[in-house]
Each structure stands twice: as C-alpha cells, then as structure tokens.
Amino acid sequence: MKGQSRGARSRRHLRKTRLAVAIACLHAMGALAGPAPSPDPDYNPFRDLGLQAPGEESETAGEPYRDRIIAPDALQPLVEESDSSASLGAPRAAHVEMIASRSRISGESTNEFGLAFGAMRETNGLGTLSAEGLLFRSDRARDGDAGWRGRATLWQRGLAMPGGWTVNNGLGALNTTLPGLLRDQYRFFLPSVPLLGLNTEWQQRERGLEWQAAVGQGGSFNGGVLNGFEAGDGLALSGGAGWQWSPAWTGAVSLLSTDGDILPLNPGLPSVDRGRTTAAVFGARWTGPRDQVSLQLQASDAVDGSAAGAWMDARSQRGRATHRAGVFNLGDDLAWGIWPINNDVRGAYYRIDYNRARWSWNGGLDRIASISGNGFDGWYGTGALRYQYSSSLSYGGSVSARDDVGGAANASARAFQLFTDLRSRAGQTRVQYDHATADATADSWELTLDHALRTREGTRMSLAAGYGERGVGPVAVSPLLTLAAYGGLSLGDTVTLDGSARWTRIRGDDAGSGLDLSVGLRWRIARQWSLTGQWYENRGPQRSPFVLDPLTNQLVQLNLPTDRTVYVSLRYEFSDGRPQQVLGGAPGTAFGSVEGSVFLDENGDGVRSASELPARNVTVTLDGSFVVRTDDEGRFRFDRVAVGEHQVVVVSDNLPLPWSFEGGKSDNSVRVQVRTAARLDIGARRPR
C-alpha cells in the first residue's frame, strides 16, 4: 500500500508539473505578443501549484509523507429528520369550498347555496383514491323535490391485482365506457351514456385483456354551477371486454341496455319516449407493420324497432401517404341506447392524407345511399391543402361538396374555405374566408380574423372578428357580425383573471343576437385559502351552414333559453404527508403543474381562437391515474406534477355530437419543468 501511495503521488506531481510548464509558456507568449500589465517579479507557477520549480530547493525536502485526515470530532453533525406527527403518513390532499350562486333561466331566478368537497390519497396497496362531491340547497323546487340535495363521485385508480391486472373503479356521477378497440373508430362513433351509479375497468396489458362494466340511473351533465349532474328516471347498464388472441389480432365486444327515461326533462335536451333499448357491438382488428383492417358488427332493439349494421375500415401507410377506405351498411332505426348514431345508410368511402416538410394535403370521396329511400342518396367529396411557405407564413384552403342524385330538396350543397396563418412578434394571426351554397337557399359567407397575441408567461389573449351573411331562403340573407375574445392574465402573484366572450348579431328577417360570456376572478388570499368569482351568460347557438357531411349526425341546434349566472366561492385546500403529494413522481421530486383547456376547434387549426366554444364536463386524466373534469370554460388543472414527461388524455365522453377526437380520445405528451405551468389547449374536431 505504501508503494502504491508513493506511485500515485509521483503521477500527481507529474501532472502538476506539466500544468505549470503550460502556464509559464502562456505567460511567455503573452510577453512576446505585446505589453502587458506589470507582472509580479516573484510570480512562480510551480510554487502556486505547490510544486518544486527546476533548480529550486524544496522547503520540505526529506520530510516524510503523512496523510491529512479530518478528525472525527471535527465533523459537522448530520441534520436529523423531523419526527413531527404533522408530516407523517401517506401523501394526501383535500379541499372544501363554500359556493353561493344566483341564476336566471327563461326569466325565472334561482338562488343556491352549496358545499363542495374533494380529497385524494395515494396508497401503497389500494392505488390512488379520490372523491368529489356537492351538497346544496335551492330556493326553486324542481319536480317536487325541495330541500337539500347532493352528488358525489368516488374514484379508485391504479389498483394492482394478482396476475398483472390493474383496476379502476368509480362510484357516483360517471359515464359508460367502451373497450379501446371500439373507441378507436375513424368514421363512426358510439357515444357514452352519463349515469349515476358505478363502473369498473380491468386491464391486463401484457396479455392484452380488458373488461368494463357500468350500471346506474341515467342522466346528463348540464354544466351548471351547483347542479352539474341531473339524473333521469331510467336505468342504464353496460358491459364490455377486449382481448388480443395473437400479436396481430385483437377483438372486443360491448353491450348497452336502457330502460325508462334516462334523460331528465330539461330545455335543450332531446325528449325520448319511455321504453327499453338493447344494443350490442362486436369488433375485430388485424394490424400489420404498415396496414390495419377492422370490422364492426352492431345490432339494436328499441321501441322503434330492431336493426343491424356493419362497417369495415382499412388503413395503409405508404411512404408519406396514409390511405383509408371503408364500407358500411347501417340499418334503419339502428341505435346505441337512446342516443342518435348513423343509421339508414349504406355506402363506401376513401381518404388519403399526404404530408411533407412544407406540403400537406388530403382528399376523400364518399358514396352514400339511404336504405329506406327517405334520406340522402348521392356523393360527398372533400379536399384540403396547406403550404408552409416559411417558418412564419402558411396558407391553404379546403373544399367540400355533396350532390344528392335522389332529388331530395335542399340536399345538394358546396362549400370552400381559404385561410392564411402568419406568425410574427405580435403573435399568430389567421385570416379565413368561408363560403357555402345550397340548393333553394341563398349563399352564406363569412370572413374571420383571429389573432392570438404573443404575451408574457402567465398571460394569454386571443381576439376574433367576423362578418358575413347567412342564407335564410331562396333570395333572403341575414347580415352577421361576430366579435370574440378569450384569455387570462395574472395580476401579481395572487390574483388571476380568466374570461371569454362571443357576441353574434344577426340582422334582417332572422334578426337576433347570441352571447356566450364567461368572466372569472381568482384571488389566493393565503397559502391555503382562495376566493373565486364567476359570471357567465349564454344565449342559444346557431348551426353552421358550412358543415356539409351527410354523416355528421348533428343534432338540430335550437335557440336555448337565456342562462345568466353569478357565483362566488371560498375554498380551503389542505395537503399533508411526508413529503407532500407529487403527481406522477417519487416523493420529494421537483414539481410544476399542468393546465389548459378543451375546446371545439371549429377551423381545425389546433389553436384555440376567441370565437371557438369550450368543451364542458369532459374527463381529463394525467398518466392514467389522476382525473379531473373541465369547468364551464373548458379549463382543467393538475397541481404538483412531477418534473418530466407526462401523458394527458381527454376522453370524448361528453362532447356534443358530432365533435370527437380521432380514436375516441386525445392523447397528448407534455413536459413539466420545475415551478412552471405546462399548458395544453386541446381541440375536438368535426367533419366538414
């Protein structure tokens, strides 16, 4: 050991000698290059490095080597961890919120007072447990039910079971679920059913197995402040399973049964006859390296009659082009519970998408026929083109047309769109022109200017203005003016302001105005206390004349009653445990947050414009374990999220038809950085 120490000292001495020689050479080169500050005549690089210069006697010559060791009594004591009982236990969080509101709907005022609560706890053996609920009282008796009422939802997610199974359970205001294969549809979609009951999901990822079940009292999420879910008088029951029987083949089946009025009698919701419905769907899919083929078979039995249907989709990836094709035959009166789906149609379609660095284009052609002869019978075609001229400028357009060869009145129509996107120091601007022509109806057109301002972190603002005309008859038109704004800002470190406004004015024979307004103020009074105020007002929407797809299956949009609401809330938040809760990371991990919104992307550009409406009461999950719902402005937020990559999934359970995400959900990656809020604005789309 002594010889090794001497050898190591020799190598260290040699390295230091080389370094000193290099420093001396640099000083010499500096002297040759020109005058320099007066050097210290006693400067010696060898001495500065603790070495003996050539020809210099060592001051410690002959002194034996000795190790330098810090004495144990000189060490600083380690900091002991606190054993305070306040920090012991598993990570947990809870909140309590007192809410008071005043609403005026169709001229009738309602005062409500309520108490909202929620809690979350991560456990070692039972997964993530969470709960949310509401207890409230209203001065307006509905259906003879006066006094206190309430809603609650309990979640258990990520529960590990023997055999590699993972279980998610829910109890309260929920939605029916479908196996992944049946959610992942390209041309046709099956809606979920809101219910007050329970559901369970079991997944075994290694073997590709899953099954779900749900049962409860049907109802609807109505987006109110203190009445977010209202139950009907009927029962809904669903079940499903998915499996993978080989590396290339997967299958799934789902059943849905309803009995009675599963929707409450509310303005703006479709009325349905009491009765029993039963529906079933089976799907199978083959997946290859570049190709995929799926087949779905469906049958239903309801008061209106029995029906059956089938559709097959194929996808092929060839270079930069993605080809899709399918055939379908959906019988008359085919249904999924009481919810409207495509029926009384047969035909085929083809789609192609092509993408390069600057060019992207797509096109499609459908042949659609009515089985009963009472619906659309003809052709439908679409095409779109986008060119990225530079990093800041892009432009393009789209065209769609439907031609009814069966001679149905007002069934043939054409529409086109032109747009330009410009990025600048001021933000992102889109100029868009839409034009539509239909048989026996005057032309409709609209010119829109959307601008998303480039703002500092914590602030966002988007403005929009549009002017056009809507055809209301063979020759009559109604001038249309639209103004909109959407955004939010932080007023210091404790106050934030969010809001959106969309105002529409129609003149002429169809005169009227529409308004969607929401303004919210949040003030963090103290570390655990916050005060929130919200004001929103809604008037009925108008159906867009630029959506021509015969398979859109869009509900007729009526002018809804005026809804004006003001509410205030006082919220207390509590979190404890050692250490505090960090979503998606180990205890003690650095964290930030994830926030954003879900909206109806009318122009399909992926950017939330001021004129585009929010998607309310939509489920958002983080890493498959943590769940929230969007508020009346379509907003969601996850606090204390671990730094790194995370998956944010939006499920289209409560999107209004025909809005959807491709595959039934939107899967987004987000990177969280320490003490910052990662933002996502996620748009749902509809066929044009």
- Measured CA to CA, the distance from residue 520 to residue 497 in angstroms comes to 6
> 159 and 308: one domain?
yes
**564 and 585 within one domain:** no
DSSP 187: S
Q: How many domains does the chain have?
A: 4
Q: Does any domain span residue 381?
A: no
Is residue 376 one of the residues assigned to a domain? no
Tell me the pLDDT tens digit for each residue of 32-78.
Answer: 445 544 455 555 554 544 445 555 454 444 555 454 554 544 444 44
Q: Tell me, what DSSP letter sits at residue 643?
A: S
Q: Which residue has the higher pLDDT, 227 or 65?
A: 227
pLDDT band for 206, please (50, 70, 90 cuts).
confident
Residues 560, 622, single domain; the answer is: no
Q: In the prediction, which pLDDT does 490 show?
A: 82
CATH code of 616's domain: 2.60.40.10
Confidence of residue 144 (pLDDT cuts 50, 70, 90): very low
- 562, 583: one domain: no
- pLDDT at 658 (0 to 100): 66
pLDDT at 300 over 70: yes
User: What integer best gives the mean pLDDT of the chain?
Assistant: 78
Residue 389 lies in a domain: no
Residues 62, 52: contact at Cβ < 8 Å? no
Q: Are residues 218 and 334 located together in one domain of the fold?
A: yes
CATH number of the domain encompassing residue 552? 2.40.160.10
What is the model's pLDDT at position 364?
Answer: 93
Cα 341 to chain centroid distance, Å, stands at 24
Last residue of a domain, one of 10, 29, 60: 60
Clarify whether residues 241 and 256 are in a common domain. yes
pLDDT in tens, 639-674: 778 888 888 888 776 676 667 776 556 678 888 888
Report pLDDT digits (tens) over 322-348.
999 999 999 988 888 877 688 889 999
Q: Domain check: are 535 and 645 in the same one?
A: no
CA-to-CA distance for 503 and 515, rounded, in angstroms? 5
What's the pLDDT score for residue 24? 57
Asked whether residue 129 is assigned to any structural domain, the reply reads no
Q: For residue 166, is it within any domain?
A: yes
Q: Which of 658, 680, 660 is nearest to 607 (CA)?
A: 680
Q: Which of 35, 60, 85 is the last residue of a domain?
A: 60
Among 574, 607, 623, the domain-final residue is: 574
Q: Are residues 583 and 514 in the same domain?
A: no
**Is residue 116 in a domain?**
no
Residues 563 and 685 grouped into a single domain: no
CA distances from 481 to 302, 449, 488, 504, 634 (A): 44, 12, 24, 6, 24
Give the pLDDT band of residue 419 (cuts 50, 70, 90).
Answer: very high
The verdict on residue 255 lying in a domain is yes
Are residues 682 and 546 part of one domain?
A: no
- Give the pLDDT confidence score for residue 222 in this predicted structure: 62
Tracing tokens 């047309």 back to the chain, one arrives at 401
Going by C-alpha positions, the residue among 610, 632, 612 that lies closest to residue 685 is: 612
Average pLDDT over residues 544-561: 56
Rounded Cα–Cα distance for residues 50 and 136 (Å): 79
Q: What order of strands is seen across the sheet that includes strand 626-629?
A: 626-629, 619-622, 644-651, 665-672
Question: Looking at residue 678, what DSSP letter applies?
Answer: E
Does 431 have pLDDT greater than 60? yes
Task: Specify the pLDDT at position 191.
Answer: 81
Residue-level pLDDT at 417: 92
Instruction: Please state the rounded mean pLDDT for residues 238-252.
Output: 94
Tokens coding 196: 């007050």
Contact of 652 with 568, CB cutoff 8 Å: no
Nearest to 351 by CA among 547, 183, 186, 553: 186
**Residues 642 and 562 placed together within one structural domain of the fold:** no
Give residues with Cβ within 8 angstroms of 183, minimum separation 6.
663, 664, 665
Does the residue 617 lie in any domain? Answer: yes
Residue 600 contacts residue 612 (beta carbons within 8 Å): yes
pLDDT greater at residue 175 or residue 284: 284
Structure tokens, 482:
């639209």
Give residue 579's pLDDT. Answer: 45
d(CA 409, CA 375): 11
What integer pLDDT is reported at residue 3 of this predicted model?
46
- Tell me: the pLDDT tens digits for 386-409? 999 998 999 999 999 988 887 665
Instruction: Write down the pLDDT at residue 544.
Output: 63
SS3 state of residue 21:
helix
CATH number, domain containing residue 314: 2.40.160
Same domain, 560 and 592: no
**Domain carrying residue 304:** 150-343
